[in-house]
Structure 1
Amino acid sequence: MERERKSKVSMVVVVSNRLPVVISYKRDKLEIKPSPGGLVTGLNSVRKSRGTLWIGWPGLLGLKGDVKSSVYEILRIKDMVPVFLSREEYNRYYEGFSNKTIWPLFHYFTEYAEYEREYWDAYKRVNSKFAEIIIQNSDADSVIWVHDYHLMLLPGLLREANPDSRIGFFLHIPFPSFEIFRLLPWRDEILKGILGADLIGFHTYDYLRHFLSSVKHILGVEHVFNELIIDDRIVKVDTFPLGIDVDRFVHAESDIFVRKNIEKLEKKYSGRKVIISVDRLDYTKGIIQKLSSFDRFLEEYPEYRGKVVLVLIVVPSRWKVGYYRELKEDIDRYVGKINGKYSSVDWSPIQYFYRMFRQDELISFYKISDIAIVTPFRDGMNLVAKEFIASTWPKGGVLILSEMAGAAIELSEAIIVNPNNVGEIVAAIKSALEMSPVEAKEKAKVMLGKLKRYDVYRWVGDFLDSLDRVKELQKKSVSDLISGADIEVMLSKYREARKSIFFLDYDGTLVPFFRHIKQAKPDDEAIDIILRLGEIAEVVVISGRDKNTMDEWFGELPVNLTAEHGAWFKRKGKEWESVGEVHSDWKDEIRPLIEYYVDKTPGSTLEEKEFSIAWHYRNVNSDLGYMRERDLVENLSYMISGSNLQILEGNKVVEIKNAEVSKGRAVRKWLEMLGGDFIMAVGDDWTDEDMFKSLPDEAFTIKVGFGTTYARYRVKDFRGVRKLLLSFINK
């Protein structure tokens, strides 16, 4: 009964690799404690209004029998469902593919990435295991929100199981550039998995841009205003910079434990400036470079010796992995070197902690610190930077922040540095120490204002609201599609008509697009449909193709033909006629420019017709093609200014023709010649919009695919067109 109540208000099913709990088994008794985290906090309001269910690994391996059952039951009471993993699954899926393949690759440490087939197979198996458990614990009304790089196949698996699911995906780490991502052997599968979601979220626009670039280059799918069409479904990609619970950090001193801890720390570091550094042990965090910078700072500015302390907190992580263990040893040695080099009787430059701290303990460190130094080589967001700014208010701490951290986009008032530039970090430390309290507070005030405006609560609400809007957009796009009732109305009008005429575009309408224009020859089904339709109605195949190609493909069929967008007409059984006196001497001036773009754009081709010239770039790298297309159109616009020429920008083609030649003019001429009280026109690109606009209001105009249109109806693709035409043939 409780499940039914929650489903009606779209219960949110949160899915992550790890459940937000810490489970321990002591003295034959299970202890389950909540683990702190921004997402947990942000979901509090959603939990109350919509209900939430959290699915993930509980953090324990090898559970069996009664213990496993007890863990399951206790977690279910807390609205959580565990996904139990074997040690082998954990080693290969989590330690293996997630953290030895995806983690280094997505953070640009390609030299650490391991491409082991057994890791990939385990990743697929565990993602499938998650999918099965989600399907068992959700329903058609549930909102499924999948998190992070461990589960990138999951949205696609859920979409296969239920095409109408409401699925969001958020990546908490950077998405790398196409040149990095393409190194992944299973890149296609990862992209298709993510694209199973309706809404895909990233921290920053750079990550979003890299993702769309990879989708375009690897899968060949273009986007329009960050929207993609995947299997006739709109997928939205957007940015949602993760925030924090600002008040929790600003007002933390209301906690007596925090107050007492602050008093102890202030006494310990009295009279000295404190620089705080908090990082998980990881090669992406730039810890060695940070130590090198502090070493050089003390070397170059000896007057600060004894006056400043670096509190270096390194949180243990993956210490069993070889290069993590080596990193830990390097940090230990470097800290020892610096302390041995500069320490005095009553002062050590670095206070080094290699252990986990509770959040309230970290807040105490933040509040007594004057400066935070956050200098990762790559970081999806980095909440330490945000937590420090909130914690030090109203004093106003100074933040030194890597430009490679996602937080740098928002916190532009920080001292932004290149983490690879030791000299720049040294200068930043000096600048931070010398910054006046007034300036520091003013900068902190601006940053705090940003954090308050987009805190973790808004982040959660914004994502879920955006997911709702995407689903509404999907419904609207589907509602525009031609329905069975619409077809019945058309058939009724067709039966009543004395004479019927069908205007049919060719490329993208009767056949799909092909990489090479010569490959688009009609298949047997297309020929059969055109032949049979031509036997019962007037059919005009109206295309941008040249008249020789049109004759070769359709000359023997009982249909009328229009070539070069209306420059040539051919009634069935007759000869070709031109639209009138149309000049083509202008081609001698335009041709050299098109040839120039063919030469400088590998994969592009020139197609010359009697009254037009076209530049095709379907086989060109998409970014290069778009750039060249914009450049060519700009040059052509300048060349033809004041002339009677027109530029057509079609699907991967730019065509130049006489302005008096158009599909709109062509259909009007055909109607004068043939008449018809039932009129249907079908086309896929903007050259067909002129045809739609030129027809009378009672005509049945049909757009193929998505996008704005003057047409009254819409079908998904060429298959939908063929099915529609067969309805008239088989009436």
Structure 2
Amino acid sequence: MSKTIIISNRLPVKITQQNNEYELQVSEGGLATGLGSIYKEGDNIWIGWCGLDVPKEDESRIINELEKENLAPVFLTEDEIKLYYEGFSNETLWPVFHYMSTYAQYDESYWESYKQVNEKFRDAVIALAQPGDIIWIHDYQLLLLPQLIREKLPDTTIGFFQHIPFPSFELFRLIPWRAELLNGMLGADLIGFHTYDDVRHFTSSATRVLPVQTNANTIHQDDRNITIDAFPMGIDAKKFDALSKTEEVRLINDNYNEILGDTKIILSIDRLDYSKGIVQRLLAFEKVLIEHPEYIGKISLHMIVVPSRDTIPQYRDLRDDIDKLVGNINSRFRTSAWHPIHYFYRSFPITELSALYNRANICLVTPMRDGMNLVSKEYVASKTNEPGVLILSEMAGASKELIEAIIINPNNLAEMSNAIVQALEMGKEEQQTRMLSLRQTVLKFDINHWVKIFMDQLKEVKELEKSRYARHVNKILLAEFETKFDQSKKRALFLDYDGTLVGFKANIDEASPDAELYATINKLASDDRNQVIIISGRKHETLDQWFSHLNVDLIAEHGAWKKTSGESWEETPNLTDRWKPSVRAMLESYCDRTPGSAIEEKRYSLAWHYRKVEEGLGELRANELISNMRYLTREKSLQLLPGNKVVEIKNAEINKGKAALEYLYKKEFDFILAMGDDHTDEDIFTAINDAAITIKVGSSVSEANYYLRNVQEVRNLLYHLCR
């Protein structure tokens, strides 16, 4: 029976050692709660580092204890913790992924340790995995792991989720090992992020660093389709909702009310990190006290900072800056009965946090960059009685969902201080309206919803991939085609040229037929039962130059020109090219703006090529061109054809599908094969699918019945038919 294997850097338990005894304490974190419904069931298991350096002689004891909880440890040495975790994960990836690249350290020893530890995790997975298992890998510490597992278990279902932001290409490209990291992640079947921005940044980086193709949110690599999607993570909303109603939390809350009286509380909770915007938050609060002295004595900032990595210089310096700033503000504004800032450098039990959430009038969540930020959602889920106001940074992933919050730019101190004043002066009715909407979102899209949506899509993606493999022309299908071919008496072979018979070239005139292709076509054409038809968007003059000496029929410019072997070219009647001047003017404007692009003119079409254009810029201009041309083409009865690094505009009356049907009219063929690689060939597939073997080249996303991966597989198929 198949099982689910969850892998993360840390196990969802805290292991402590006292008097040579090890104790397990289950984590209360959101991820541990959400995935608890999975890893505790049946034979499912969670693999991760146990959180401390365990002596060799104690490892078996730890393994036995963890097995009872469906957990399996990966043991790391002190050097590995220092180099892989504190080093590459937190001094290389963390700052770059949080847009703080000046803090990044690109140390070769960090990278070597990161690779070795990812391999150690792979070995732990391989030891437990069986065919049919589902593997779900979490976060930036294990970016290489999906591909490492894929190499050993090629058919396994693998999901990967990143809990921190993914940076734009301009930042990601700074990492020396960027290609290796991307290839590692692309070993997964489904890659998840919190926001669409992260999806976009990852896809952009992958296409600009690696030789991969994309279609919408799918990346094609090595005959695999990898889906990239956004899955905003939730919290255990019911737990926080229920906690705030408990007697223990109510008593803590009553105590706060007795001490604080009518003082309005602004709550701030963060781990010590330069990405959290803590200093900016303090400066904005100070600005409120300076510009609105009427709030002195009436508001108070309760700021909890959870200790984290304060041995690292940047974190130690940040803690010192916070200490100084808090001391400065308190010394300037406090009175004998009032402190403007209550600063706590420690973690709090969940019951006290719940009481603080419930009591706080405002929750100030203003990170400079954050994957999601669950504090904002915990605050909303805890507001069961009194209303409150959430002030949220637009740089946090949660801002894409919690749109009823006051959204601010954390770099804009004036905007942040104004937001605090707006929240303080907001009427109770508006607070209730906003909070009701926020609570509906948080309670619906909770951690269990997040887990279900991701796992459902992972299974769906894998099923689609399996069905796609069934359509690939493998040895079994190839044998079937050969049998049908041998048994037939009259055969028609429609073959596209660029991207099907030959690969693409930066200069389109260099993609001429080679000796091997000529030999194959000639061998096919020499059989009286075969009729080879080269059907292309190429100029008829070009096809004539390349193929007129062979016994093949030619269809050029998508059907505008036709030539039977040994005869003259025939032009499709009643076509016009009067539309060209207005269209050419627009294409020329795009050439002027896009270095490397060029216009190709055919008798009844114009093509804008961008094969030589900078990666990314060509696609951007092509999409813009298509958008701007839609009205003009509709008005003049033209058709827009986006192809491989080309956008073509032609008469709507002509297309390859219509040309193929006209060719087949009143002819008796008992074997029909059509192969092509781009959008223009879809017309053929749609037109003759029921009567033919149709094959898309380079992609499985098509109306065609089957697909081949590349030009070499096309030639291999034709070679087998020749035999």
TM-score, length basis structure 1: 0.92
The residue that corresponds to 2:531 in the other structure is 538
Given the alignment, which residue of 367, 389, 405 partners 2:358? 367
Aligned equivalents of 2:630, 2:369: Cα separation in 1: 44
Code of the residue aligned with 1:652 in structure 2: it is K
Given the alignment, which residue of 371, 388, 392 partners 1:380? 371
Aligned equivalents of 2:257, 2:330: Cα separation in 1: 21
Aligned equivalents of 2:653, 2:250: Cα separation in 1: 81
| DSSP 3-state at the match of 2:461 | helix
Change (3 A) 1:552 1:120: farther
For the 8 Å contact 1:12–1:50, the answer to whether it is kept is: no
Change (3 A) 1:472 1:697: closer
Given the alignment, which residue of 505, 511, 515 partners 1:520? 511
The residue that corresponds to 2:140 in the other structure is 149
Could you give the per-residue CA deviations for residues 217-240 of structure 1, whole angstroms, max 9, x where no partner exists? 333544334222232222222221
Given the alignment, which residue of 194, 198, 216 partners 2:189? 198
The residue that corresponds to 1:18 in the other structure is 10
Aligned equivalents of 1:570, 1:526: Cα separation in 2: 20
Aligned equivalents of 1:11, 1:676: Cα separation in 2: 51
In the alignment, structure 1 residue 88 sits paired with structure 2 residue 79: yes
Change (3 A) 1:356 1:505: same
Aligned equivalents of 1:349, 1:21: Cα separation in 2: 37
For the 8 Å contact 2:5–2:39, the answer to whether it is kept is: no
In the alignment, structure 1 residue 595 sits paired with structure 2 residue 610: no
Aligned equivalents of 1:345, 1:710: Cα separation in 2: 78
Could you give the per-residue CA deviations for residues 584-620 of structure 1, whole angstroms, max 9, x where no partner exists? 5654554443333222212211222344332112333
> Following TM superposition, by how much is the alpha carbon of 1:311 offset from its aligned partner in structure 2, in angstroms?
1.3
Could you give the per-residue CA deviations for residues 10-29 of structure 1, whole angstroms, max 9, x where no partner exists? 42211111111211221111
> Following TM superposition, by how much is the alpha carbon of 1:435 offset from its aligned partner in structure 2, in angstroms?
2.5
Aligned equivalents of 1:636, 1:412: Cα separation in 2: 35
Code of the residue aligned with 1:21 in structure 2: it is V
Change (3 A) 1:490 1:22: closer
> Following TM superposition, by how much is the alpha carbon of 1:295 offset from its aligned partner in structure 2, in angstroms?
1.5
Change (3 A) 1:401 1:671: closer
Alignment of 1:158-197 (within 5 A): 158-197=149-188
In the alignment, structure 1 residue 683 sits paired with structure 2 residue 670: no
> Following TM superposition, by how much is the alpha carbon of 1:115 offset from its aligned partner in structure 2, in angstroms?
1.8
> Following TM superposition, by how much is the alpha carbon of 1:170 offset from its aligned partner in structure 2, in angstroms?
0.8
For the 8 Å contact 1:372–1:388, the answer to whether it is kept is: yes
Change (3 A) 1:660 1:330: closer
Code of the residue aligned with 1:654 in structure 2: it is V
Aligned equivalents of 2:210, 2:672: Cα separation in 1: 38
Given the alignment, which residue of 198, 204, 210 partners 2:201? 210
For the 8 Å contact 1:273–1:308, the answer to whether it is kept is: yes
In the alignment, structure 1 residue 104 sits paired with structure 2 residue 95: yes
Given the alignment, which residue of 503, 508, 511 partners 2:499? 508
Aligned equivalents of 1:511, 1:324: Cα separation in 2: 56
Change (3 A) 1:378 1:449: same
The residue that corresponds to 2:338 in the other structure is 347
Change (3 A) 1:217 1:258: same
RMSD: 2.6
Aligned equivalents of 1:111, 1:247: Cα separation in 2: 40
The residue that corresponds to 1:45 in the other structure is 37
Code of the residue aligned with 1:33 in structure 2: it is Q
Moved more, 118-127 or 373-382: 118-127
In the alignment, structure 1 residue 295 sits paired with structure 2 residue 286: yes
Code of the residue aligned with 2:622 in structure 1: it is E
> Following TM superposition, by how much is the alpha carbon of 1:315 offset from its aligned partner in structure 2, in angstroms?
0.7
The percent of aligned pairs where both chains have the same amino acid is 47
Given the alignment, which residue of 598, 604, 609 partners 2:602? 609
Moved more, 88-97 or 298-307: 298-307
> Following TM superposition, by how much is the alpha carbon of 1:357 offset from its aligned partner in structure 2, in angstroms?
2.0
Code of the residue aligned with 1:656 in structure 2: it is I
Aligned equivalents of 1:638, 1:369: Cα separation in 2: 55
Change (3 A) 1:312 1:709: closer
For the 8 Å contact 2:39–2:70, the answer to whether it is kept is: no
> Following TM superposition, by how much is the alpha carbon of 1:287 offset from its aligned partner in structure 2, in angstroms?
0.9
> Following TM superposition, by how much is the alpha carbon of 1:130 offset from its aligned partner in structure 2, in angstroms?
1.0
The residue that corresponds to 1:3 in the other structure is none
> Following TM superposition, by how much is the alpha carbon of 1:728 offset from its aligned partner in structure 2, in angstroms?
1.6
| DSSP 3-state at the match of 1:357 | coil
| DSSP 3-state at the match of 1:164 | coil
The residue that corresponds to 2:384 in the other structure is 393
Code of the residue aligned with 1:593 in structure 2: it is M
For the 8 Å contact 2:40–2:69, the answer to whether it is kept is: no
In the alignment, structure 1 residue 328 sits paired with structure 2 residue 319: yes
Could you give the per-residue CA deviations for residues 27-82 of structure 1, whole angstroms, max 9, x where no partner exists? 11112211211111112332455653111111112x22322222222122221111
Count of residue pairs brought into register by the alignment:
721
Change (3 A) 1:584 1:299: closer
Code of the residue aligned with 1:449 in structure 2: it is Q
Given the alignment, which residue of 104, 118, 123 partners 1:113? 104
Aligned equivalents of 1:436, 1:659: Cα separation in 2: 60
Could you give the per-residue CA deviations for residues 184-212 of structure 1, whole angstroms, max 9, x where no partner exists? 22222222221211111111122222222
For the 8 Å contact 1:276–1:371, the answer to whether it is kept is: yes
Aligned equivalents of 1:276, 1:590: Cα separation in 2: 60
Moved more, 247-256 or 188-197: 247-256
Change (3 A) 1:252 1:116: same
Given the alignment, which residue of 210, 215, 224 partners 1:219? 210
Code of the residue aligned with 1:135 in structure 2: it is I
For the 8 Å contact 1:393–1:444, the answer to whether it is kept is: no
The residue that corresponds to 1:425 in the other structure is 416
Code of the residue aligned with 1:378 in structure 2: it is R
Could you give the per-residue CA deviations for residues 452-483 of structure 1, whole angstroms, max 9, x where no partner exists? 11111111111111111111221222233345
Moved more, 284-293 or 561-570: 561-570
Unaligned runs of 5+ in 2: none
Code of the residue aligned with 1:679 in structure 2: it is I
Could you give the per-residue CA deviations for residues 406-441 of structure 1, whole angstroms, max 9, x where no partner exists? 111222222222211222222222222223333323
| DSSP 3-state at the match of 1:331 | helix
Aligned equivalents of 2:509, 2:464: Cα separation in 1: 37
The residue that corresponds to 1:461 in the other structure is 452
Aligned equivalents of 1:590, 1:54: Cα separation in 2: 60
The residue that corresponds to 2:543 in the other structure is 550
Code of the residue aligned with 2:673 in structure 1: it is M
Aligned equivalents of 2:162, 2:182: Cα separation in 1: 12
The residue that corresponds to 2:266 in the other structure is 275
Code of the residue aligned with 2:35 in structure 1: it is L
In the alignment, structure 1 residue 723 sits paired with structure 2 residue 723: no
Aligned equivalents of 1:326, 1:484: Cα separation in 2: 64
| DSSP 3-state at the match of 1:43 | helix
Aligned equivalents of 1:22, 1:250: Cα separation in 2: 25
Aligned equivalents of 2:351, 2:196: Cα separation in 1: 32
> Following TM superposition, by how much is the alpha carbon of 1:484 offset from its aligned partner in structure 2, in angstroms?
4.9
> Following TM superposition, by how much is the alpha carbon of 1:493 offset from its aligned partner in structure 2, in angstroms?
3.3
> Following TM superposition, by how much is the alpha carbon of 1:693 offset from its aligned partner in structure 2, in angstroms?
4.6
Change (3 A) 1:355 1:163: same
The residue that corresponds to 1:656 in the other structure is 649
Code of the residue aligned with 1:719 in structure 2: it is Q
For the 8 Å contact 1:515–1:619, the answer to whether it is kept is: yes
Alignment of 1:628-639 (within 5 A): 628-633=621-626, 636=629, 638-639=631-632
| DSSP 3-state at the match of 1:191 | helix
> Following TM superposition, by how much is the alpha carbon of 1:377 offset from its aligned partner in structure 2, in angstroms?
0.8
Could you give the per-residue CA deviations for residues 138-158 of structure 1, whole angstroms, max 9, x where no partner exists? 112221111111111111211
For the 8 Å contact 1:217–1:621, the answer to whether it is kept is: no
For the 8 Å contact 1:506–1:541, the answer to whether it is kept is: yes
Aligned equivalents of 1:280, 1:690: Cα separation in 2: 57
Aligned equivalents of 1:356, 1:29: Cα separation in 2: 25
The residue that corresponds to 1:667 in the other structure is 660
Moved more, 385-394 or 592-601: 592-601
> Following TM superposition, by how much is the alpha carbon of 1:119 offset from its aligned partner in structure 2, in angstroms?
1.6
For the 8 Å contact 2:700–2:707, the answer to whether it is kept is: no
Alignment of 1:126-145 (within 5 A): 126-145=117-136
